[in-house]
Amino acid sequence: MSIKVSIPFQDNINIEIDGDMGEVKKVISELDGLFEVLKGAVGELKPLTTTVSPEPVSITRSVHPAGIPTIAAEVKTNLRASLIELISSDWGKQSPKTMKEIIEALRTNGIYRGKSSISSALFQLSQTNKIRRYRENQKGEWKYTAV
């Protein structure tokens, strides 16, 4: 999940930080060093306001076009967990999904894996009864549903 932070300074100077939570935290922790570098170029910079909210940030799940759900950031690094999340979502439960539909949903979420990796992960999930895999006829392509 990408977030954007804007820090206003005097003289209409703003610093904007855009990235995932880890990247933004890292940049914010390194701001003192950045101020020292900028000090030589533009003089003393001080934030107009500094506020830190101790309250937890609420994360809302958004839906991509065609009803494809957003996969949680902490799950994206694990292909099998991402597949389970997709197939067990409302989108996955609407109708059985083909490999093409699943690849499109993964790519919509920024997960780019090869077809063979995805196929292998889907097969393994079906073997462990995490998802169901079947063909509508002998020559048809595999379809995947939640268990």
Give 66-93 pLDDT, tens digit per residue: 688 888 888 888 999 999 999 999 999 9
Average pLDDT score over residue span 106-127: 94
| 128-133-139 Cα angle (round to 5) | 140
- This prediction has a pTM of 0.56
pLDDT over 80 (residue 16): no
Give the pLDDT score at 59: 47
Residues of the chain above pLDDT 90, percent:
42
DSSP 8-class letter at 141: P
Q: pLDDT band at residue 131, thresholds of 50, 70 and 90?
A: very high
Average pLDDT score over residue span 121-139: 93
Q: What value does the mean pLDDT of the chain take?
A: 79
What architecture does CATH give domain 65-146? Orthogonal Bundle (1.10)
B/e letters for 18-47, b = 16+ CB within 10 Å, e = fewer, are: eeeeeebeeeeeeeeeeeeebeeeeeebee
Q: pLDDT band at residue 41, thresholds of 50, 70 and 90?
A: low
Give the pLDDT score at 103: 95
Domain segments of the chain as ranges: 2-42, 65-146
